[in-house]
Amino acid sequence: MSSTSNAMKFTLRIWRQKGPKDSGKLVDYKVDDIIPEMSFLEMLDVLNEKLAAEGKDPVAFDSDCREGICGTCGLVINGIAHGPLAGTTTCGLRMRHFRSGDVITIEPFRADSFPIIKDLVVDRTAFDRIVQAGGYVSFNTGSAPDANSVLVSKDASHDSMDAATCIGCGACVAACPNASAHLFTGAKVYQFAKIPQGQPERDQRVLNMITTHDKEGFGDCSNHGECEAVCPKQINIKTIAQMRRDYLVASLRT
């Protein structure tokens, strides 16, 4: 790649950890010829190709869609999950939000429920298990009534969508000082609490999902609101309040 006039350079302090049992440490790397239009991950691609060409082990990080919707990528950049720009995933973050010469520390999402696989890659299957505990409407394929036979108000649908947009990236857990997954769980609970299809299982859903949340070892939510601030989909912590309300009602009722 040719050097361009607006090329930027950075010192990257990246968490390297060989495997789940390794203790890991921060290692410094230099990159230059970074242009402002690059995404953060493309900058890491550049670093990795450089490392590979030198025969060194590239930095393991995960990503897939690179357009902010699959929830695969997720790095803690200078202490902030998904980096300094609000409402963005790591893949959507462009380098123009940094200044040439910056030292950038890159760490994995840290939580004991998200064990580190290698370097910056963590295992987030705990989220799947929370969903498996009840994050759905139970019915068998084929038994659905005509779609318009159940009316859903525009507002309710909108509200539900606001929560349903969660991509399950885990930034809420990474950012939470308590490593709680209440925003993730709350979003799912909220999504179904707002629409008629979610009502039959509403009580059982919130009880089971919270039981699994706790069993997976996530922390308690003490309302710091860091989750909302880093959430790439800007899911509101009102979903957590709703989940607590539902949980209380469900505990009293069942």
Partner 1 sequence: MPYELIMGDTELDSKVPDGPIDQKWTLYKQNAKLVLPANKRKYTIIIVGTGLAGASAAATLGELGYKVKSFCIHDSARRAHSVAALGGINAAKNYQNDGDSVWRLFYDTVKGGDFRAREANVHRLAEVSLNIIDQAAAQGVPFAREYGGTLANRSFGGAQVSRTFYARGQTGQQLLYGAYGSFSRQVHEKNVTLYNNREMLDLVVKDGKARGIITRNLITGEVERHAGHAVLLCTGGYGTIFYLSTNAVNSNGTAAWRCHKRGAFFANPCYTQIHPTCIPQAGDFQSKLTLMSESLRNDGRVWVPKKKGDDRHPNDIPDEERDYYLERRYPAFGNLVPRDIASRAAKKACDEGYGVGPTKRAVYLDFKSAIQRMGEDAVRERYGNLFEMYEEITGEDPYKVPMRIYPASHYTMGGLWVDYNLMTTIPGLHCLGEANFSDHGSNRLGASALMQGLSDGYFVIPYTLGNYLAQHQPHDELTTDTPEFEAAEKNVADNLKKLMEIGGERTPQDYHRELGKIVWNYVGMSRDEEGLKKAITDIRELRKDFWSNLKVTGVNEEFNKNLEFAGRVADYLELAELMAIDALFREESCGGHFREEYKTEAGEARRNDEDFCYVAAWEWNGDPTKPKLNKENLTFENVKLAQRSYK
Partner 2 sequence: MNLATAAQSSIGRKLISGLTGLLLVGFVIGHLTGNFLLLAGPEAFNNYAYFLEHLFHGAGLIIAEIGLIVLFLSHAWSGFQVWNNKWNARKKNYEVPGDAGGKSKKSVSSTTMLWSGVLLLAFVVWHVAQFKFGIIDTGNRAVMVDGVEMRNLYGIVVDTFAQPLWTGIYVIIMVMLGFHLWHGAWSAFQSMGLANDLYLPTITKVAHFLSIVLAVGFVALPTSIFVFSNHFKAESDKYMQQYGTNETSGDMIYRTVSGLMSAEKGA
What are 4's two structure tokens? 């361009």
Q: What's the rounded Cα separation, in Å, for the pair 234 and 231?
A: 5
Is 183 near partner 1 (CB under 8 A)? Answer: no
Q: What's the rounded Cα separation, in Å, for the pair 115 and 72?
A: 15
Q: Strand, helix or coil at 113?
A: coil
Q: Which does 139 bind (CB under 5 to 8 A by kind): partner 1, partner 2, none?
A: partner 1
Stretch that binds partner 2, among 118-126, 135-143, 193-201, 229-237 (CB under 8 A): 229-237
What are 169's two structure tokens? 């990236």
CB of 209 to partner 2, least distance (A): 10
Is 28 near partner 1 (CB under 8 A)? Answer: no
Q: Which does 213 bind (CB under 5 to 8 A by kind): partner 1, partner 2, none?
A: partner 2
Q: What's the rounded Cα separation, in Å, for the pair 98 and 114?
A: 28
Is 111 near partner 1 (CB under 8 A)? Answer: no
Q: What DSSP state is assigned to residue 4? A: -
141-160 binders of partner 2 (CB under 8 A): none
* Cross-strand pairs, 72: none
Identify the residue among 166, 175, 187, 193 touching partner 2 (CB under 8 A).
175
Among residues 43 and 175, whose Cβ is nearest to partner 2? 175
141-170 binders of partner 1 (CB under 8 A): 141-148, 150-154, 157-158, 160-161, 164-165, 167-168
Among 220, 234, 231, 124, smallest CA distance to 180 is for: 220
Stretch that binds partner 1, among 9-17, 23-31, 117-125, 213-221 (CB under 8 A): 117-125
- State the virtual CA torsion across 47, 51, 53, 57 in degrees, nearest 10: -140
CB of 150 to partner 1, least distance (A): 7
Identify the residue among 8, 12, 15, 73 touching partner 2 (CB under 8 A).
15
Cα 247 to Cα 43, 172, 185, 252, distances in angstroms: 44, 20, 12, 9
